[in-house]
Structure 1
Amino acid sequence: MRSGIVAIVGRPNVGKSSLLNALVGQKVSITAPKPQTTRHRIQGVLHGDNAQIVFVDTPGMHRAAKKALNKAMNDAASNSLHYVDLALFVIEAGRWTDEDEAVLERLKSVKSPVALVINKVDKFSDKNDLLPLMEKLAPLREWAFVMPLSALKGANVNVLAKQLMERMPEGPPLYPEGQVVGHDLSFTISEMVREKLMRSLAQELPYALTVETEAVEREGGLLKASAIIWVERDGQKKIVIGEDGAMLKRVGTAARRELEEMTGGKVFLKLWVRVKEGWTDDPKALSRFGYEGG
């Protein structure tokens, strides 16, 4: 039996969460077309015949850590690299930025093997167009391997999984057979609501809010849950609620439907919106809301 831990790292918005979901075969980490959607270390488990991999999806590393929240996310991503058996450095095909360079710089201190994953190759009809980037990156460090793939289309994802299985050290499983998600239902509910907010709200507002699950209980076949959406200002609260409560209802309905699909049963979800000024730069608030490094 082989088992180990693999960190998925990279700058924001390169498809790390989509890759994690594709590898384990179900939605474990929320996704949205906005940078820094992932704020916590998310664990997803891949089970093989004689191997198990625990993937850790990390927040996107970014240079501008102006607030305590940004620093906490950077710290969560960096700290994930200290105990893994292998790290996957994910970049976007055809695009190399200063933030990619900054992540590569942080990886210099990582003692574990690092593999280069070039995601979103489905954007290129001619794969030869990827060669200049691969030739540029190949000599920058000693890579465990280089893997071009498309997490969205599933191209080469199984090849990557097989490669990783073979590289895991010998050892017993870290999670029971069949367990795919490494966090509890309360966390799942918070993240699911936050994903719907990220997808529904424009511009900067999603970065000024967080979601805290207040209660979860089962009554027969019904799952009852309540959660608080925290924002920084009264004006933001009005936007999240929407005219006559329309936005809050839309977000709640979308989250409830996905929870029902995930759990296979009926869900009653109640949402509130409350204001906590400056929570993104308040270490005590960050600690309460579960942000590592806060």
Structure 2
Amino acid sequence: MDETTHKSGYVVLVGRPNVGKSTLLNHLVGQKVSITSRRPQTTRDRILGIKTRPDAQLLYVDTPGIHVAKSQLNRYMMRVAKSALTDVDVVALVVEAGVFRDDDQRALDLARQGTAPVILVVNKVDRLKDKAALLPFLEAMAQRHDFAEIVPLSARRPEDVQRLEDLLVRYLPMGEPFYGEDEITDKSMRFMAAELIREQVFRSFGQEVPYAMAVAIDEFKEEGRLTRIHATIYVEREGQKAILVGAGGERLKQIGQAARLELEKLLDRRVFLGLWVKVKSGWSTDARVLHSLGYHDGES
């Protein structure tokens, strides 16, 4: 590594829910570090994805989608998003091609509060039905802020992601790597396990299961070539528990099978996964319960 030319720095991804930040992060890192689903506000925490290349180390920070916060959980998420914008080198504001809503404006207002350059990433251009509408949309966005760059792309196209990464490197400061070249995130395996289980619940049930659902890891133990994980899925009402468990426990079994496969990919070893569902009424509006489930940032 040439210390005189090597770059290292933080790139924070901000935007409203469901613009594709987590999908973009996973493709930028080249591995799954942030869960995804069609449900808005899937990401609840600051997720760091580390991409190491010979000339640079990019530290991508995924954040919860910017929205109007009404519950304790939502307020926690917005504090996470805002705090992630401090001491970063580049802000990547992600929007959906052809769409600009109130929450997009809130994300833009937040992004330009700092001193870091703001790069506009216009995602999902492949889904834009009227391709002729893209250029007018880009021109309209350019009027909203003096962006350092405007990058239209699809997060699912490798060549688009590579083009964005190369551009981001130009804005990073010179410096040595912060992390080892084999590290892809700063999150613990317990945290990642809880996230992968939560992802499978969202993916399996869609709108059937409410947003107010959380996962706690009760046990995470390595036994020889096997990792034994026991986890509890918390919901707020008995009816939600019945939906998750299903007749004869069949639906919970399906969630467990899908999550176990994802965990085995992550850990590269066999996994035993035991799942339980419990009712914890009003957990998403109770600061003390949120703290016990891991959603805490030093504020109430």
User: TM class by shorter-chain length?
Assistant: over 0.9
Aligned to 1:90: 94
Q: Percent identity?
A: 45
> What is the SS of the residue equivalent to 2:228?
strand
Match for 1:164 among 157, 165, 168? 168
Using structure 1 for the length normalisation, give the TM-score.
0.96
Aligned to 1:36: 41
- The aligned amino acid for 1:141 is H
C-alpha RMSD of the superposition = 1.4
Aligned to 2:196: 192
Aligned to 1:8: 13
> What is the SS of the residue equivalent to 2:207?
coil
Q: Does 1:279 align with 2:283?
A: yes
- The aligned amino acid for 2:25 is L
Aligned to 2:211: 207
**Runs of 4+ with >6 A deviation:** none
Q: Does 1:183 align with 2:183?
A: no
> What is the SS of the residue equivalent to 1:3?
strand
Aligned to 1:67: 71
In 2, distance between residues paired with 1:269 and 1:158? 36
Structure 1 pair 155–123 and aligned structure 2 pair: CA distance change class (3 A): farther
Structure 1 pair 83–290 and aligned structure 2 pair: CA distance change class (3 A): farther
Match for 2:269 among 258, 265, 271? 265
Aligned to 1:137: 141
Q: How many residues in Structure 1 have an aligned counterpart in Structure 2?
A: 293
- The aligned amino acid for 2:60 is F
How far has the Cα of 1:23 moved from its partner? Answer: 0.4
In 1, distance between residues paired with 2:123 and 2:256? 32
In 2, distance between residues paired with 1:106 and 1:261? 36
Using structure 2 for the length normalisation, give the TM-score.
0.94
Q: Does 1:234 align with 2:238?
A: yes
Unaligned runs of 5+ in 2: 1-5
In 2, distance between residues paired with 1:181 and 1:202? 27
Unaligned runs of 5+ in 1: none
How far has the Cα of 1:127 moved from its partner? Answer: 4.5
In 2, distance between residues paired with 1:153 and 1:108? 28
> What is the SS of the residue equivalent to 1:202?
helix
